[in-house]
A = this chain, B = another copy of it.
């Protein structure tokens, strides 16, 4: 089957509406302001192209019965989420519901050929299991800056610099491929299936190994002049703070990324400030973010201080971002298990206390309730935004 895409703006608007769920003919006409004749013509073409199908009669609104339309079962997207230590892949339907998902540990530093090869195998496995003959598109998330379908961050992804990731997936999977950084993909997932759905302008803050954010402005992802909008990992917070992986001093990520938190936890363990962390470090030979979380939840004061310090610094950065960008909502994802609410309380305290009321008076700050699903949905959304658009 050759690739089918909408042929004109009206068809593109129709399939994007149907991506949010089935609609009756009458609703589609009303929402897009199309005459009955135009609507029929465009829908007939979309049906003929295999993009749309009839799903039976719509619920009656009085008057003549309208039929229900939906994206056809031939529309299938794949998502590939490449993290520093893991690959996750999924297959979705046209409405971006996840039909099948799998993942496994992977070392991104083993280079693009190995990682992409394995991701392609995993997608193939899912397609075979779920009977997906053709893919309509694939969206790929990389754990670092991306420009024009390639990685541009040698420090984070050694060996990936300028590797043609997009072209490799497009060739291997035989469908359009789109590549973006993980924070942008997470923001897209939140826009499609999370609370971001109801906001035109929002900020998604991603915590974890790397810190980043995704900006949705006027209903679209904003990437900036050179695709690096939202790259806040290396904002300098302090001129004499910890050394960052990037080589600079006092970056946000050096304080608030997973590695920074673990480093601070090890210092607390070794200095005797935290008996809980010291005991765990002695037992396991090292510490992890879950160890810090467990200690904080168990009431260890030093671990709690670490978490609150992290949240306070995130809050200080957010004060600047929300004053500048004035989003409708801030969504925080990737908080360590069990720590989300402690982090959130502290972040809210700082942001609401030190921001202009006009910018934050009605702005919620919430934890993402999609967890890992945001990334796979976001990958599918990335692909579908491209395929469901006419240039």
| Contact status A234-B326, CB under 8 Å | no
Question: Which B residues lie within 8 Å of A199 (CB)?
Answer: 225
By a CB distance below 8 angstroms, the chain B residues around A320 are 232, 235, 317, 320-321, 324
Residues in B with CB closer than 8 Å to A236 are: 316, 319, 354
Further contacts, 12 of them, CB under 8 A, given A226-B358, A226-B359: A201-B224, A224-B327, A225-B363, A227-B326, A227-B358, A228-B326, A231-B356, A231-B358, A235-B319, A236-B316, A236-B319, A320-B324
Interface: A262 (CB within 8 A): no
Let me know if A248 and B354 touch, CB within 8 A: yes
Q: Is the interface of A mostly helix, strand, loop or mixed?
A: loop
Q: Is residue A230 within 8 Å, beta carbon to beta carbon, of the partner chain?
A: yes
**Is A326 touching B225 in the complex (CB atoms < 8 A)?**
yes
Interface size classification for chain A: 35 or more
Name the one of B224, B228, B319, B326 contacting A224, with C-beta atoms under 8 angstroms: B326
A202-235 interface with B by 8 A CB criterion: 213, 215, 217-218, 222-232, 234-235
Q: This chain: how many copies in the complex? A: 2
Interface check A145, CB cutoff 8 A: yes
> What would 24 A/B residue contacts be, using CB atoms closer than 8 Å?
A152-B358, A153-B358, A200-B225, A213-B324, A224-B325, A224-B359, A225-B326, A225-B328, A226-B326, A227-B358, A228-B323, A228-B326, A228-B356, A230-B326, A231-B356, A231-B358, A231-B359, A232-B323, A234-B323, A236-B354, A248-B354, A317-B320, A320-B320, A320-B324
Contact in complex: B229, A326 (CB < 8 Å):
yes
Q: Which residue on B lies nearest to A147, using beta carbons?
A: B358
User: Taking the complex as formed, is A362 at the interface, i.e. its CB lies under 8 A from any CB of chain B?
Assistant: yes
CB proximity to B under 8 Å, residues A350-378: 354, 356, 358-359, 361-363
Give Cα A220–Cα B153 distance, bound, in whole angstroms: 30
A362-B226 CB under 8 A given contacts A234-B356, A356-B231: yes
CB-defined contacts of A229 to chain B, threshold 8 Å: 324-326
* Distance between Cα atoms of A255 and B326 in the complex (Å): 23
B residues in contact with A147, CB < 8 Å: 358
Contact partners of A153 in chain B: CB under 8 A: 358
B225 touches A327 (CB 8 A): yes
Rounded to whole angstroms, the CA-CA distance of A193 and B32 in the bound complex is 37
A231 touches B317 (CB 8 A): no
Interface string of A298-310 (1 = CB under 8 A from B): 0000000000000
